[in-house]
Amino acid sequence: MPPEDSTLRPASQPGSEFTVTAPALEGLRQWVVAARADDLDGLAAVTQLDDAGANTANLYEWQAAMATADGLALYRDALDEQGVLDPGCDDYILCEWHEDWVVGSGDLMQLVSGKHRSPDVGAYTTVNKLADDGGVAHLFNRWFALGKKPMCRLVTTGGLKAGPARELKTLTARLRTLKTDKHEQALTPDETRVVKQLRTAIATYDKGTAERWKGANTYPAVEEKDQDREVTDFLASLTIVTVVMNQGVVGDAAPSKYVKPVLEKMSHAVVDSAAVWKAVLGLFRARMQSHGETTYGDLPVVLQRDHSGGLEPDVRRRIARRLVTLGDIQIAIETALAIPGAYQSVAPVATISRVEIKMAQSGCSSNAVSRATALRMEYEEYWRDQESGDPGARVARKNLERLLRRVSDHAMGDSELSGHGLWTAVDDKLVELQEAGELPAGVDSEIALGGLCDLSNRCQIWFGPTFDIDAVIAGRRSEGVTQP
C-alpha cells in the first residue's frame, strides 16, 4: 500500500495531465480483503465519460455473467496449491467504472468492454464497426486518460469476419508479443494501413479524442505520426476475445464452464456448481447496478474531516458499491456450498381441477382442457357480476344449467359419446342454440360452454365413464399437485 501522500501521474500529453493525492478509500468494506487504494484512487480521479451503465445494468445480464467469469478466474488464480485463498491478496473487479468492468491484479489493471451481439446482427466486418459498436474507440479514450497504463480487452459474442476486422485482431496479437519481448514496433505496410484505419475511426466515434488531436488555443494539435504512435501503443495493450457464450446459453453452460474449475481446485464436489454460479452472479449483478454494501451504508456525510484534497466521500461510496473483492467472491462461494438449496429454483405447485381430470381421463386434447379451464373461469365471473346486482339472476342461472344438462344428455345419445367427441358435440350444439336464439339473454355459446364445464367440475356432468375422482385427486396431492 503506498503512503497517503503518493500521487498518480500519467504521461504528460496536452489535455490529459492530472495530479491526484490518493488517501486510502475509507468507504471500502473493511471486513473483507481490501483492494489497493492507489489503483482505485487513480481510476476515480479521472472523470467518467458517462455513468449510464450502472443505472441500466439490469438490462445487461450477459455483461454481468462475463464479469462473473472474470471474477471466478481471478479467484481461482489466487488460490494456493491447497485451494486456499491468500488473505493478503488484494485483487479486485470494479464494475461500471470507466468501462463495463476493471480487473485489478498485482501491478496489472485491465479495462474490459463487454459487447453482446445477437445472432441476427452477425460478426464484425470493419475497423469502423469495432471502433463504434465494439467500443474500441471508448476503450482508447479511457486507456489514454488513465495514463496509457492499463491493458484493455474487448469481450464479444460477435465473431470477426476475414478482412479488416480480423486484420486488426491479428495486429493486436503481434504487437503484444513485440511489447512482451521488448522489440521495436516495426509495422508492415498492411499493418500501417490498419493503424491509420483505426486512428480515423477513433477520431470519428470519440469526440474527446478528436478534439484533443485537433488542438485548441490552450494546447497544440497532435501530429498524425504521434496519433499513429498512440494508436499503435494502444493496440499493443488490447486483446480481442470472441466467445460463444451468448445470452441464451450462458445460464445453462456457465456452471460447468466457469465454476467447475474453481471447485475442483478447492477440492469441493462440483455437484453444487449451479448454486455457486447463481450466488456469485448475484454478487456481480448487484455491483454492476451500484448496489454494493459500504462501511457507512446510506448514512449522510455530516462533516468533511479530510482536508487533504482527497476523493469526495460520495465518490468513495460509489467506488465501494461497485467493487468486488476476492473476499466477496469467497463469501458467496462458501454460502452457496453451505446451503445450495437456497439457490435452487422453487418449482411452482401445479393446480388441477375436477373438470381437467375428467377431460384428461376421457382423452380430450390439452388444448380442449386449457379452453375448458378458461371458459369455466369466465362463466363464474359472468354470474358473479349478474348476481351482485340482479335478484333474478340466480333463477336465470338455474334455468341455464338445466338446459346445459339436457344438451349434455342429448349429445351423448345412444352412441355414448365421450372425450373429444362429446366435447365437440356439445360445443356445436351450443353454437346452434345461440344462432337459433334459444340461449338466455346475454349468454352466448362460450359462456354456456363454460357453464357446462362448471357443472362437470361439480360432478354433475361427465365426459366419459365415471371413476373414483377423489382417488385420482389424492394421488395428485401426493405428487405435490393441489386442487383449486
Whether residue 316 is found in the same domain as residue 417: no
Compute CA distances 384 → 52, 86, 459, whole Å: 49, 67, 21
Task: Provide the phi-psi class of 364: left if phi over 0, else alpha when psi is between -120 and 50, else beta.
Answer: beta
Helix (H, G, I), strand (E, B) or coil at 351: strand
Whether residue 322 is found in the same domain as residue 372: no
pLDDT at 54 (0 to 100): 46
Domain contains 400:
yes
Along the 484 residues of the chain, how does pLDDT read in single tens digits?
333 333 233 333 433 333 333 333 333 333 333 456 667 777 777 776 665 554 444 357 899 999 999 999 999 999 999 999 988 899 999 999 889 999 999 889 999 999 988 777 889 999 999 999 999 999 999 999 999 999 999 999 888 999 999 999 999 999 999 888 777 778 999 999 999 999 999 999 999 999 999 999 898 999 999 999 999 999 999 999 998 887 777 878 899 999 999 999 999 999 999 999 999 999 999 998 887 776 666 676 666 655 555 567 777 788 888 999 999 999 999 999 999 988 877 654 455 677 777 777 777 777 878 888 888 888 888 888 788 777 778 888 888 888 888 888 777 654 455 677 777 888 888 888 888 888 887 788 888 888 888 888 887 777 666 767 677 666 666 655 455 5
Whether residue 276 is found in the same domain as residue 390: no
Whether residue 336 is found in the same domain as residue 359: no
pLDDT at 4 (0 to 100): 35
Distance of CA 405 to the CA centre of its chain: 54
Domain contains 199:
yes
pLDDT at 416 (0 to 100): 56
Whether residue 398 is found in the same domain as residue 294: no
Whether residue 149 is found in the same domain as residue 28: yes
Give the end of a domain, one of 311, 343, 375.
343
pLDDT at 2 (0 to 100): 36
Structural domain boundaries enclosing 163: 7-343
Domain contains 394:
yes
Domain contains 250:
yes
pLDDT at 124 (0 to 100): 94
Whether residue 56 is found in the same domain as residue 126: yes
pLDDT at 460 (0 to 100): 77
> Domains in the chain: how many in total?
2
Give the end of a domain, one of 318, 343, 368.
343
Domain contains 436:
yes
Give the end of a domain, one of 298, 323, 343.
343
Whether residue 46 is found in the same domain as residue 191: yes
Residue 233 CB burial class (10 angstroms; 0-12, 13-18, ≥19) = middle
Whether residue 117 is found in the same domain as residue 259: yes
Whether residue 365 is found in the same domain as residue 339: no
Domain contains 236:
yes
| Cβ–Cβ under 8 Å, residues 235 and 144 | no
Compute CA distances 305 → 41, 95, 309, 310, 365, whole Å: 18, 28, 11, 11, 74
Whether residue 359 is found in the same domain as residue 338: no
Where do the H-state alpha helices sit in 339-365?
A: 354-361
Whether residue 26 is found in the same domain as residue 153: yes
Domain contains 245:
yes
Domain contains 244:
yes
